[in-house]
Chain A
Amino acid sequence: MEIQISDRLAKKFRRNLIERGIEFLLLLAAMSAVFTTIAIVCILLYESYTFFEHVSLRDFLTDTQWTPLFADAHYGIMPLVSGTVTTAAIALAFAIPVGTIGAIYLSEFASHRVRETVKPILELLEGVPTIVFGYFALLLVTPLLQKLIPGLPTFNMLGPGIVIGIMVIPYIASVSEDAMRAVPMSMREGSYAMGATRFQTAIRVVTPAAISGIIAAYILAISRAVGETMVVAIAAGQQPNLTFNPMDSAATITAYIVQVAMGDLPHGSIGYQSIFAAGLVLMLMTLFFNLLGHFTRKKFREAY
């Protein structure tokens, strides 16, 4: 009898031990996300730190030239930032109106059948690799633009900007539509009962109610456009250029990183470190937008 009890206790003990072990392993796996973030921050800060031992922060922020690979090296990040901001701005000027109107149409106007057909296609398009869009920007959109605008160089910011816009439209449309669908039917019915038309209901009731989700979609799209690499690396040129003119060729932060990585820079050289400093700036820019998106969603969230 006694043996039986201790036997059962031992079994239970072993079982609890295994359960604890498994829980610990699962926790470790979940912590991998935290470790990845820490690793990204540490690597960027560490390499940038050595970079900033050579380059003063003042030069970095105020110099108007970025030529780390030349004999006469300048380390002003602004030309790369201007390229990044310009291409992203072109993309969003194009994508936000089209994406939003598309989302309002899909959510409030489209028939059930149209919506059920278009929505999966939009989700499908979100998965198209960006390198393919780079091909379009270089070999289709830019030649077309050159016919419309004579004198447009082969590498320019307009073409890639538009293509990035086309790329993020499905994303904006799909996420905004989700937000609008989440607005309860009773609100629409209330509006219709007051005699409002579909258009009035969509603009004055549904859109304001879903605004937190819609703005979050915009901000994530901004973050995507800023971090987009292949399209600009292929079609915007590789020459850092302090300009906001879409017709000019210019390099973005991401394009510069790709350009350096394609070459054969020795580990530990200033050129090698410069891509981490550029990456740090990119990371801070996207982090800013991500946090902004997070707080917008929290602040404007309406609970129904």
Chain B
Amino acid sequence: MNTEASTLKDLDAVRSMIKRHKLNDYIFGAVGLSFIMLILLTLLVLFIDLIIDGYPKLMSWDFFTSFPSRRAASAGLLSALVGSALVMIITFVSAVPMGVAAAIYLEEYAKKNWLSEVIEVNVTNLAAVPSIIYGLLALGLFVYILDFGTSILTAGLTLGLLILPVVIVATREAIRGIPVAIREAAYAVGATKWQVVSQHVVRYATGGILTGVIIGMARAIGETAPVITIGALTFIAFLPPSPVTTSAPFLNFDWLWSGFTVLPIQMFSWLSRPGADFHVNAAAAGAVIIVVTLLMNGIAIRMRYNIRKKIKWQ
């Protein structure tokens, strides 16, 4: 009788413990979900607010086709849009071939020795260097030692160095995903190492490489600090010389040396002025930057997702 009662008591204790633990589970699940939702909602509210603030400007075509001005009402984004596009050309040309080549070397050619170890450590470390440090490098090296001045070339090269680790890491990951069998098949029919790499490995890894390139370029478009550091925060109400001319040789490289402004710099300059009317312009510029970068990142993440899901080699 006595033992039966104590067994029942024990059973009750166990049951209440299970209940308590289940409650803990439930509470933690609820807290976790609400934290995640809270963060996502906060960011959503912030983005929506930005678009609402900039709405009057975003709806007028003039905003995209006029130069910055001392009057907030007539100030526009034209020189910043053109500047961003031209800087991105240089960034792309400097970072992508170099980054892809570096990744190919590290994945396909490098022997396991101290040199490849040093290169790897450097790539990881560069990815974590604050962007403003790249600005200081560019200020000392490009602006003064190489005497490129505060030009589109300097900005493009700076951002190129900045996204180099991004391109290298993404390319390596893409190359690593190509199975050895592909390489062996190519070697078996007599291809040289470079033929294997360039005609097979890199070709099959193109999707993965492209995602890295897009994410890197999106980062470069939004990057502000290094571009300010090279001294680019100036009033630019002109366009650089056109890269394409109507007469032979049809190409003109004077734009490389031209002064410029880019989207985030323009936003910063509007934001740092007192007075709410310029803040509307800043919000509109911010909305443009967000839409461009989110779109690029979205495409890249989507692509990566599809690549991971669809292509299964084995």
Interface centre among A33, A36, A139, by most B CB within 10 Å?
A33
Does A205 sit within 8 A of B, measured CB to CB?
no
Please, which residues of chain A bring their CB within 8 A of the CB of B230? 261
**Are the C-beta atoms of A135 and B132 separated by less than 8 Å?**
no
For the complex, give the distance between the alpha carbons of A1 and B280 in Å.
Answer: 82
Interface residue SS majority, chain A: helix
Residue of chain A at shortest CB distance from B161? A36
| Size category, B interface | 35 or more
For the complex, give the distance between the alpha carbons of A267 and B142 in Å.
Answer: 13
Please tell me which one of the listed residues A27, A98, A200 contacts residue B39 in the complex, with CB atoms under 8 A apart.
A98
**Are the C-beta atoms of A128 and B290 separated by less than 8 Å?**
yes
Interface centre among B29, B36, B298, by most A CB within 10 Å?
B36
Please, which residues of chain A bring their CB within 8 A of the CB of B302? 120
**Are the C-beta atoms of B28 and A109 separated by less than 8 Å?**
yes
Interface centre among A132, A199, A230, A275, by most B CB within 10 Å?
A132
Interface centre among A43, A126, A294, by most B CB within 10 Å?
A43
For the complex, give the distance between the alpha carbons of A228 and B133 in Å.
Answer: 11
**Are the C-beta atoms of B289 and A229 separated by less than 8 Å?**
no
Proximity string of chain A (254-288) to chain B, C-beta cutoff 8 Å, 1 when within and 0 when not: 10011001100001000000011001001100110
Please tell me which one of the listed residues A43, A105, A233 contacts residue B136 in the complex, with CB atoms under 8 A apart.
A43
For the complex, give the distance between the alpha carbons of A153 and B123 in Å.
Answer: 41
Does B68 sit within 8 A of A, measured CB to CB?
no
**Are the C-beta atoms of B33 and A110 separated by less than 8 Å?**
yes
For the complex, give the distance between the alpha carbons of A22 and B196 in Å.
Answer: 13
Please, which residues of chain B bring their CB within 8 A of the CB of A224? 130
Interface centre among A23, A30, A128, A254, by most B CB within 10 Å?
A30
Q: How far is the CB of A143 from chain B (nearest CB, A)?
A: 11
Q: Which of B43-51, B173-181, B236-244, B245-253 contacts A (4 or more CB under 8 A)?
A: B43-51
Q: How far is the CB of B102 from chain A (nearest CB, A)?
A: 4
Does B21 sit within 8 A of A, measured CB to CB?
yes
Does A298 sit within 8 A of B, measured CB to CB?
no
**Are the C-beta atoms of A258 and B283 separated by less than 8 Å?**
no
Please tell me which one of the listed residues A22, A26, A226 contacts residue B130 in the complex, with CB atoms under 8 A apart.
A226
Please, which residues of chain B bring their CB within 8 A of the CB of A26? 101-102, 104-105, 109
Please, which residues of chain B bring their CB within 8 A of the CB of A139? 53, 279
Does B222 sit within 8 A of A, measured CB to CB?
yes
Q: What 9 A-B pairs come out closest when comparing CB atoms? A: A105-B32, A129-B222, A227-B130, A29-B101, A43-B140, A229-B225, A26-B105, A127-B297, A30-B105
- 11 residue pairs from A and B, CB less than 8 Å apart: A23-B193, A32-B164, A127-B222, A128-B222, A131-B264, A198-B29, A223-B130, A227-B130, A227-B132, A234-B272, A286-B129
